[in-house]
Amino acid sequence: MKTIERDLVVLGGGPGGYTAAFRAADLGRSVTLVEKEPVLGGVCLNVGCIPSKTLLHYSEVIEETKEIADLGLHFPPPAIDLEKIRAHKAKVVKGLNDGIASLAKARKVEVIQGVGTLKGAHELLIGDDTAIQFKDLIIATGSRPARIPSIPYDDERVWDSTDALALNEVPKRLAIIGAGIIGLEMASIYHALGSEITIIEMLDSIIPPADKDLKAPLLKAIKGKYQIHLSTKVEEVAASEGELTLKLDNGHTIAADALLVAVGRKPNSDSLNLESAAVAVDRRGFIIVDEQLRTSAQHIFAIGDVTGDPMLAHRASAQAKVAAEAACREKSAFLPLGIPSVAYTRPEIAWVGLTETEAGERGIEYTKGTFPWQASSRAMSALAAVGVTKALFDKKTGRLIGAGICGKNAGELIAEALLALEMGAVSEDIALSIHAHPTLSETFAIAAELALGRATDMLNR
Amino acid sequence: MAIKEITVPHLGDFSDIPVIEVYIKEGDSIAVDDSLIALESAKAVTDIPSPYAGTIVKVLIKEGDLVNEGTAIAEIEVAAADEKSPAKSEIKAEPPIEAKAQAAEKEAEPVETKAAPPPAPKGEEAPLSLPPLGGAYHATPALRRYARELGVDLSRVTGSGAHGRILHEDVQRFVKESLKGGGVAAKPFALEDFSAYGAIERIPLSRIQKFSGPHLVGSWQAIPHVTQFDEADVTELEAFRRSVKSEIKLSILPFVIKALSSALKEFPSLNASFDEATGEIILKRYHHIGVAVDTPEGLVVPVVKNVEGKRITEIAAELASLSQRARDRKLTTEDLAGGSFSVSSLGGIGGTYFTPIINRPEVAILGLSRIKKQPVWDGEAFAARDILPLSLSYDHRVIDGATAVRFTGHLSGLLTDLRRVLL
């Protein structure tokens, strides 16, 4: 085994890891990035957000051509060429892989492929052949799909999100355990490609963290398309040659040709030998960090999914910049007022800041403005009248504390609410900013007007 | 029911007084004499009481505003019975901003505190990824970063923007004021966890201490202090004082003040202020002597005005009246303003010498300790004499050491033979 000495080491090359590496390099540090896969980008780019959004674009086009058929525009049924779709997806991913690799090269970030394990507080073992002695370390090892016992994972018809995104086939009947964001996005893709979808969720609602009224339009839209079993557990999965059989605790039995298990993710912290460096984790295995992303070891930082919820790429990259700056002795801190969550469903759901439930838990009194998209001219003309925009304001200060949007492009529209939240905008600031008409974005301003009781596009209640 | 406007009453000859605390908010129901706001003036914190009973409809003032007589404080919906006769408002001055460090604060209740939480051990939940929303302050992300770089705790900065939003200028002003020696250090001294060594208890500073602290720090940091010790043989003075038949009890303090006035006439540079902007010394032709008075709420420094033209019994009577009003919290801001020299007497308690902090913008302060019988060599034998310890702190930029020791020597001579005051 050879031992090398390095300055700042980043373990994990996902959106958190490569961002941390690049920021630290720009601040003058000599950076080494260790990644277990041959390409950078992590789950997000390779087997997560980017491939799923690429495939979701197909499903969107298919669904739109179906919906417009009733309105006087007819297309023949889609002819699906899976191989071409896979090639396109791979091309998108590869383009971004190459982009990151060239950015790393231009910044003189050294990339080492291998699996890192700590040995003490200042040494990282890469496999059996290299030991890196580091000054500072940023851990960005991410997360992996959680597994539930009693599921026959060995059967190749049982998928996790990575298998689903591989798009090896379109099963006739796809069962999905878990009605969170990942489960619902995969349902969208496969439904459009022709699968019959059955979703089984243990909790009593889809996308558990979001407010009920926000999910109502989505629930209405998918109820006719998928079979949905809420508050239901899968008791048994039996694999026979012809099909998979799921026994549910509500008495139903589901026959499926493939099963996707999307029941959350768990941190990749268990194989790092963190104890040897005195890096503390919580009971669920998430690394405990302070607002500078420092772990219980002063020179070791942790960012991204391995530090807890919400497990989102944009949270990881924001943390990455703070950790890199803190490692360079800058006074940075990770104290956002909101981190947006987006479900790329049809219609999309996005929210930021506090939900009504969270505001209630914190005892914050708030006023609410809710604007249904049936009253939005732009939504109507874009066949997107299924949706709602709502904004919550602190009664005492008038400041925006949270917002949620369900509808076409909600993921893009939420950006305005996020900016308003971080800037400390009060309801009047939003209502008085002139929004273009007709747009979907004006629904946010109208929601603010409704909270103030001075809307004109709708009756104030 | 009617809505009335409450305004700032006459406050003496002051203008643009900063509001340091607003006690009321909309919807509060208050009684006559309930405190509405606190003003900082003449080194004192003055509560403005309500002349009406009723419900606050609108608060028209906020912390940091500068007010004058007649400035509107709030609108109040007055309870019917109170409509006609606003109660006569009595302004209570609360102790203050004291130039001496010994404020024994009695109102502070000890608070039981647990030891600071230890670092999260294994097995605990990771902290919520979303911090408490909004926080105690209202500022944009870029400004929060700017403040972090400067080490400014934004919860201590008053925002001047709409809805109290903290602006770039507010942070700059805060830093400038901190550097000026307003005393508000940008970052508190980091303490270790004392509970590791044994049981501890945390007691909050009283409001008075909170306001006096920065003034003390400011004076202490800005003025090069030197303290001259001396003593006065007051045997004859004490014999005379005891022999005087007077309606009011005569302590030695009015005698010292009278002698002090005489000494200040000889040494006018001690009855002065230093104008740092122009580099000039401002001599004052009046002798307004501030006297520290202990009250249940803490120390106050009411001022006996024009002692140079007053008889000792008049000074004594005025001191008695000021002390009584101080204890009854009935001092006006005028009672506390205009001092040109301060006296801090610990004679009733004990001790020998101490180093009082100058009551800025004055340039000197005289500390008196307990009179003690001491053996003094009179040339033939030791005699038992009454000796009064004197501690004079002075601003070395204005007064040099020789002047100071001449002054205390002169004062000592006056106290030994009070007839010299007449010369």
Which residues of chain B from 333 to 362 reach within 8 Å of chain A, CB to CB? none
Among the ranges given (A153-162, A238-247, B17-26), the one the predictor scored with the smallest mean pLDDT: B17-26
- Asked if B138's CB is within 8 angstroms of A397's CB, the reply is yes
- Closest Cα in chain B to A420: B140
> Looking at the complex, does the CB of residue A331 fall below 8 Å from at least one CB of chain B?
yes
- At residue B421, the pLDDT reads 85
Residues of B in contact with A396 (CB under 8 A): none
- At residue A134, the pLDDT reads 97
- At residue B211, the pLDDT reads 66
- At residue B53, the pLDDT reads 83
- Closest Cα in chain A to B165: A424
Whether residue B167 has pLDDT greater than 50: yes
Provide the shortest C-alpha distance from residue A286 to chain B (in Å).
Answer: 7
Q: SS3 of A49, please?
A: helix
- Asked if A362's CB is within 8 angstroms of B148's CB, the reply is no
State the CATH architecture for A2-145+266-327.
3-Layer(bba) Sandwich (3.50)
For A435-448, write each residue's pLDDT tens digit.
999 999 999 999 99
Percent of chain B with pLDDT over 70: 80
Residues of B in contact with A308 (CB under 8 A): 126, 129
Tell me the backbone φ, ψ of residue A238, rounded to 5 degrees.
-105, 130
Whether residue A336 has pLDDT greater than 70: yes
Q: Which of B138, B168, B225, B396 is catalytic?
A: B396
Of B177 and A157, the one with more pLDDT: A157
> Looking at the complex, does the CB of residue A315 fall below 8 Å from at least one CB of chain B?
yes
- At residue B208, the pLDDT reads 64
- Active site members of A: 437
Q: Which of A127, A101, A123 is nearest to A22 (CA)?
A: A101
- Closest Cα in chain A to B151: A331
Looking at every residue in chain B, the average pLDDT score rounds to 80
pLDDT bin (cut points 50, 70, 90) of residue A342 is: very high
- Asked if A333's CB is within 8 angstroms of B130's CB, the reply is no
What is the amino acid identity at position B238?
E
Using CA atoms, how far apart are residues A262 and A188, in angstroms rounded to an integer? Answer: 14
Q: Which of B92, B11, B89 is nearest to B46 (CA)?
A: B92
Provide the shortest C-alpha distance from residue A171 to chain B (in Å).
Answer: 38
- At residue B71, the pLDDT reads 85
> Looking at the complex, does the CB of residue A264 fall below 8 Å from at least one CB of chain B?
no
> Looking at the complex, does the CB of residue A329 fall below 8 Å from at least one CB of chain B?
no
> Looking at the complex, does the CB of residue B155 fall below 8 Å from at least one CB of chain A?
no
Residues of B in contact with A354 (CB under 8 A): 133
Count of A-B CB contacts under 8 Å: 79
Residues of A in contact with B131 (CB under 8 A): 291, 335-337
- At residue A245, the pLDDT reads 96
Whether residue A365 has pLDDT greater than 90: yes
In the Cβ-directed half-sphere of B195, how many Cα atoms lie within 13 Å? 10
- At residue B23, the pLDDT reads 84
Option in B126, B139, B141 nearest A288 (CB): B126
**Residue B78's beta-bridge partner residues?**
B2, B54
* pLDDT (average), residues A129-153: 95
**ipTM for this prediction:** 0.71
- At residue A256, the pLDDT reads 97
> Looking at the complex, does the CB of residue A51 fall below 8 Å from at least one CB of chain B?
no
For B342-393, write each residue's pLDDT tens digit.
999 888 888 899 999 999 899 999 999 999 999 999 889 999 999 999 999 9
Using CA atoms, how far apart are residues A59 and A348, in angstroms rounded to an integer? Answer: 13
Provide the shortest C-alpha distance from residue B155 to chain A (in Å).
Answer: 14
Among the ranges given (A220-224, A344-348, B204-208, B219-223), the one the predictor scored with the smallest mean pLDDT: B204-208
> Looking at the complex, does the CB of residue B142 fall below 8 Å from at least one CB of chain A?
no
- Asked if A426's CB is within 8 angstroms of B140's CB, the reply is no
Option in B129, B139, B145 nearest A424 (CB): B139
Option in B120, B127, B164 nearest A280 (CB): B120
C-alpha distances in angstroms, A266 versus A142, B94, B145?
Answer: 9, 60, 32
For A10-22, write each residue's pLDDT tens digit.
999 999 999 999 9
Using CA atoms, how far apart are residues A176 and A195, in angstroms rounded to an integer? Answer: 11
Which residues of chain B from 384 to 403 reach within 8 Å of chain A, CB to CB? none
pLDDT bin (cut points 50, 70, 90) of residue B123 is: very low
Option in B125, B129, B149 nearest A283 (CB): B125
Provide the shortest C-alpha distance from residue A126 to chain B (in Å).
Answer: 26
> Looking at the complex, does the CB of residue A84 fall below 8 Å from at least one CB of chain B?
no
- Closest Cα in chain A to B140: A423
- Asked if A331's CB is within 8 angstroms of B148's CB, the reply is yes
Given a contact cutoff of 8 angstroms between Cβ atoms, the answer to whether B324 and B317 are in contact is no
Tell me the backbone φ, ψ of residue A75, rounded to 5 degrees.
-115, 150
Give the domain ranges of chain A: 2-145+266-327, 158-263, 341-452
- Asked if B133's CB is within 8 angstroms of A401's CB, the reply is yes
Exposed/middle/buried for residue A317 (C-beta within 10 Å: 0-12, 13-18, 19+): buried
- At residue B133, the pLDDT reads 45
Whether residue B184 has pLDDT greater than 70: no
Looking at every residue in chain A, the average pLDDT score rounds to 95
- At residue B114, the pLDDT reads 37
Using CA atoms, how far apart are residues A48 and A160, in angstroms rounded to an integer? Answer: 11
To the nearest 10 degrees (0 to 180), the angle between helices A410-422 and A442-452 is 50
Option in B124, B130, B141 nearest A283 (CB): B124
Residues of A in contact with B132 (CB under 8 A): 362
- Asked if B132's CB is within 8 angstroms of A422's CB, the reply is no
Range ranked top by mean pLDDT from A362-371, B10-19, B46-55, B203-212: A362-371
> Looking at the complex, does the CB of residue A266 fall below 8 Å from at least one CB of chain B?
no
Is the domain defined by A341-452 classed in CATH 3.40.50.720? no
* pLDDT (average), residues A150-170: 95
Helix (H) or strand (E) holding A404: strand A400-407
> Is it true that A2-145+266-327 and A341-452 share their CATH fold?
no
Whether residue B187 has pLDDT greater than 90: no
Chain mean position to CA B8: 22
- Asked if A338's CB is within 8 angstroms of B130's CB, the reply is yes
Given a contact cutoff of 8 angstroms between Cβ atoms, the answer to whether A221 and A212 are in contact is no
For B55-71, write each residue's pLDDT tens digit.
888 888 888 788 888 88
* pLDDT (average), residues A311-322: 97
Best of B26, B128, B129, B170 to mutate (most A CBs within 10 Å, chain A): B129
> Looking at the complex, does the CB of residue A297 fall below 8 Å from at least one CB of chain B?
no
pLDDT bin (cut points 50, 70, 90) of residue B192 is: confident
- Asked if A282's CB is within 8 angstroms of B120's CB, the reply is yes
For A423-432, write each residue's pLDDT tens digit.
999 999 999 9
- Asked if B132's CB is within 8 angstroms of A362's CB, the reply is yes
pLDDT bin (cut points 50, 70, 90) of residue B193 is: confident
Provide the shortest C-alpha distance from residue A308 to chain B (in Å).
Answer: 7
Q: Cβ atoms within 10 A of the Cβ of A196, count?
A: 16
> Looking at the complex, does the CB of residue B117 fall below 8 Å from at least one CB of chain A?
no
> Looking at the complex, does the CB of residue B27 fall below 8 Å from at least one CB of chain A?
no
Q: Which CATH class is domain A158-263?
A: alpha beta
- Closest Cα in chain B to A361: B132
Given a contact cutoff of 8 angstroms between Cβ atoms, the answer to whether A394 and A406 are in contact is no
